[in-house]
Amino acid sequence: MDTEVTAIPVVVVTGAGGGLGAATTALYASRGWHVVAVDLTAPPSGPGITSVAADVTDSASLKALADRVRAEHNRLDAVITFAGVLGIGPLAETDPERVQQVLDVNVMGTVRTVHALFDLLRSSGGRVVLISSETGPQHGMPMNGAYAMSKHAIEAYGDSLRRELMFLGPDVVLIQPGPFRTGMTASIRRRFQESTLPGSPFAAMAAVMGEMAAGEDDKATDPGVLAEAVWTAGTTDRPRHRYAVRWDLGRRLLDHLPVPLVDKALTLALGGKIDAKKLELRREAAEALSVAEAEARP
């Protein structure tokens, strides 16, 4: 095994096959870093990019990743944890196994990644860049509970990890993106529609929230903007603890108001829309039943 340390800085990017991870991978590679781009399916390779298939829910898979980085580069200057999944749906109705899956990927996947690569990071004086969300420090919103839980946990993990590693040298930085255009958000309306059970009392709420989320996606920012923020977080000499990037202004303002006031505002803003959507869904169901009965007549 070649143990000579290469001169080119090396970064591992998990979730590199998605829009945000792919944009960050391309940016680091274009600026002279060697990127080990990781996803469940190996992302496209290219100049300065080594593509690796690995699963952040599998410790053995991540150990194999660490062994490869050590063998091929013997250094690691940064790890950036984009790997994650959405968690949409009513908490009272969502299968706990699905909530567990979101936490396993978003939270424990991050923990496993850092754990597997820690020795390399420490020996190189590398940096940990954790991808949180504007949801991370904010109060949870309807239909977004599992995802919010995971990002709140990443915020706590990042703070504790930073305060441990600051005595050893490596920096830990949290990135808190607002709405950006990604593969996950592109199908947001469908994801909301599929998040409830047949006959669910949350169906109207899911439809309303899905329409609102789709509208936000239309205004979402280009992933290249976030990639620039991640570049700064990963390379500047004195990084900030957190980088809030293009937060939604309305959500930011709501989070500064007293919780009871926000709950009241949500009731007023959403109640009418949900009631109207319930009537619409009932009419659609009645029309579908009428058509089915007509077709069934001899």
Query: Which residues are part of the catalytic machinery?
Result: 147
In single-letter form, the type of residue at position 271 comes to G
* CA-derived radius of gyration, the chain: 22
Phi, psi (degrees; rounded to nearest 5) at 235? -125, -20
Q: Across the strands, what pairs with 92? A: none
Phi, psi (degrees; rounded to nearest 5) at 199? 75, 15
CB 15 within 8 A of CB 223: no
**Residue 138 neighbours by CB under 8 Å, 6+ apart:** 148, 251, 252, 255
User: β-strand 34-39 against 127-131: which pairing, if any?
Assistant: unpaired
Among 155, 149, 66, 77, residue whose Cα is nearest residue 112: 66
Task: Give CA–CA dist 186/5, Å, rounded.
Answer: 41
Task: Give CA–CA dist 72/279, Å, rounded.
Answer: 61
